[in-house]
Chain A
Amino acid sequence: MNAIEIRNLTKNFGQKQALAGLNMTVPQGAIYGFIGENGSGKSTTEKLICGLLVPSGGSIKLFGRDYKDPDVRAKIGVLIEQPGCFPNYSVWNNMMLQAANLDIPNAAEEVRKVLRVVHMDGSASNKYKNCSLGMKQRIGIAMALLGKPALLILDEPINGLDADGMRIMRDVLVDITKEYRCTVVISSHILGELEKIATHYGIVRGGKMIKEMTAEELEADCRTFVALQTKDMEMARALLERKYSRVTLENEYIRIYDDVKAEEVVAYLYHELGIAVTEVRTDKIGLEEYYIDLMNKGVC
């Protein structure tokens, strides 16, 4: 059974169509990276799943049931935009309030546990309004984890965080996926971070799902290339372009996307043309490059 199954979902805001027949399938237990440009419909889709917006058309099923089913919805944890907290309450009191909403037995123990998971156990007495952005995001995740959710929806949890905040957040997300074993949908622009944890991906554009795939499929889809540096990059590039069909200069490296071994390229440059290679490696394009390629309608 799929955790989320969306068919032909549409949402109009007046004349503007935010979602134009979006289809989405999130298998149970997946960590689903939900990717798309600003305004592509990610947040709208997430808000529709959570019942915060009313769809214009289409269907949403959660664990095989209608998304309005109260029994299912009680098992959803959400962080969309900012966490819903009262600024003058302490972190602890905000958490206890949400625990009471969910009617969680042993609320104090559960709150302590989720705060530990998000590395916030030492800041429970802080007033929410005095917390940093990173702390607020982690509080939002802790709140979403209350009641052991079967489905966790996190909208841009990494955005706006500094490098340290991002590292902590990544650790938190990894811990969550290990400890809670729930289905997680994460939307983010920071694809490098997403790539480290996601098992499935959905790429949305203009309110439509343009591609859904597993991490394995992405791996298989992503092109391998030989990246090299020489003392005379321009000359080497011009010469390589004569022999290979797909040669580019990216990030101060010459990349050859043809099916070729690194040693062959090095030998060709040195023996045939007398150009010494200073650095060479074989690599694969990452999610970010794959995504950019897809957005540019290139072939991966």
Chain B
Amino acid sequence: MQPTFEKQSFWKKLKSMLKVDFKRMFTMPLVYIMAGVSLALPILILVMTSTMGGADTNTGADAAGMFTNVWQAISSVSGGNAGMAMDLTTMCNMNLMYFMLAVLVCVFTADDFRSGYAKNLFTVRPKKIDYVCSKTVVLFAGGAIMMIAFFIGAMLGGAIGGLPFTMEGFHAGNLVACLFAKIFLVAVFVAIFFTFSVVAKQRTWLSILLSCGVGAFLFMMIPMMTPLNANFIHVIMTLAGGGLFAAGLGAVSCVILNKTSLV
């Protein structure tokens, strides 16, 4: 009997792939651990620095570059050398999440290759584009959750530590734009980290090493892209950057998957 071969449309495959990846993402402990750490980290940082006398909560005076304001845990106001100074407020703010994102992306992707799941998948799916698209979308969602968890943690940490919530040099609209810009910037980093994960395949250590190396190189650019006084332009720029990086590096990832051995 002659077998019949059903036409496999891209959207149909992408839909099933997204279903699987979202299911995997939210049934494995990794994303919850990362979200938990993202929530706990700003609480610890803000509570510890405020209780250690880092800031005078009555006057708001800065002591040795410590946090004097809750919003410093999110980002810094652009202008002058803001964001470029190597102090606690610029090193231990929301931008740290981009390093943690590297762990999420690399572990999640390496798991596909280590378990042999990628072998199952690529046997029945010779075109890799749906895999790359799905992974990018799902990991972006995971990264966005981490960002939101960090924001909530910063609010809680600020409240517990008694830090002021005053907005100086920016307003609520800028803060929302900053958060959106930071979330859209996740797409840029997901695309970079995912490409390294595809190169490294099951070698998680290699993908994390490469990702953190490049992450450190780009780290200084994040405050300029996502300042506290961000506006519509920053959001558009990060959104476009996210889209371009995802598309460009996604294509690179597809080529790598097509040209290299998958086992």
Q: Give residues in A with beta carbon < 8 Å to B.
A: 1, 28-29, 47, 50-54, 63, 67-76, 78, 80-89, 93, 97-98, 100-103, 143, 147, 150, 181-182
Contacts and interface: CB of A to CB of B under 8 A. Distances in A.
Contact of B6 (A71, A78, A98, A101): A71
Given A84-B119, A100-B20, A150-B3, A76 B124 contact: yes
B2 A1 contact: yes
Contacts, number: 112
A74 B124 contact: yes
Contacts of B119: 50, 52, 78, 80, 84
Contacts of A54: 258-261
B17 interface: yes
Contacts of A76: 123-124
A103 to B, nearest CB: 4
Given A52-B119, A84-B116, A84-B120, A73 B126 contact: yes
Contacts of B56: none
21 contacts: A28-B3, A50-B119, A52-B261, A53-B261, A63-B5, A68-B126, A69-B5, A72-B5, A74-B8, A74-B124, A75-B3, A78-B119, A80-B119, A81-B116, A82-B116, A84-B115, A84-B117, A86-B28, A97-B23, A100-B19, A102-B16
B115 to A, nearest CB: 5
Interface in B105-130: 111, 115-127
Interface residues of B, number: 38
The interface centre, meaning the residue of A53, A84, A88, A182 with most chain B CB atoms within 10 A of its CB, is A84
Query: From DSSP, what is the main secondary structure of chain B's interface residues?
Result: helix
What are the nearest 3 A-B pairs in CB distance? A84-B116, A150-B3, A84-B120
A51 B122 contact: yes
Contacts of B115: 84-87
A31 B8 CA distance: 27
A13 B218 CA distance: 36
A101 B116 contact: no
Interface in B7-29: 7-8, 12-13, 15-17, 19-20, 23-24, 27-28
Interface in B230-263: 258-263
Contacts of B127: 70
